[in-house]
Chain A
Amino acid sequence: MHTMTSTMTKRIRSKIARGSGELAILSLLAEQPLYGFEIAKQISERTGGALQFTLASLYPLLYEMEKRGWVEGRWQANHAGRDRRYYSLTVAGRKQLAPLRQEWRSFFHALDNLAGVSHA
């Protein structure tokens, strides 16, 4: 029973992380094209370390988003003259951003009504 609950908790956490990751990445890329390392770094810095992406969590998500046509990766040299794969938002990705934001807003609102998390 305990194992089953633990697996379910992990699954929910993983889904939350995945959903928040998509929103975080789309929001960042809406500002400017970035490469993977920069995406992870900026997410960490701008959330005060609350959201952390490692290589293992970032790239499968990026590739998935690329497959869906939300982001587009393109190799180019960065300011240090190194080849990096820069991701930019596609038109389809930009269209996803507003509904995703709304979805999360509703989620937090619902959770707040239920558990008063904003006052916790």
Chain B
Amino acid sequence: MDIRLYMAQRLSAIIMIPLVFGHLGVMIYAIQGGLSASEIMSRTQGSVFWFMFYGLFVIAVSVHGAIGLRTIMSEFLRLNDLALDAIMWGFGLVSMFMGARAVSAVTWL
């Protein structure tokens, strides 16, 4: 890992700290009164705030997870740089695509 990957992973972690707590808090809050899926959707669809919140979360998670996976693969499988970069970009882009799909489904009208 060089300094650019290190910085990207630390910055994405800093972004994720409040978002993880927000995500957990909202989940706990949302199930307290027995909100149904459609009730939740009615609050999130069309909401710029939730789009920004989870959009940012997805980007940060994709960056953070992909770099972390690259390190794990490097240390446990000793793959070469080309294979490591392929895994990192592949995992990052797939996570981002899947995350973006979920965010758009929940927040777009």
Q: Do A and B come from one complex?
A: no
Residues of B within 8 A of A (CB): none
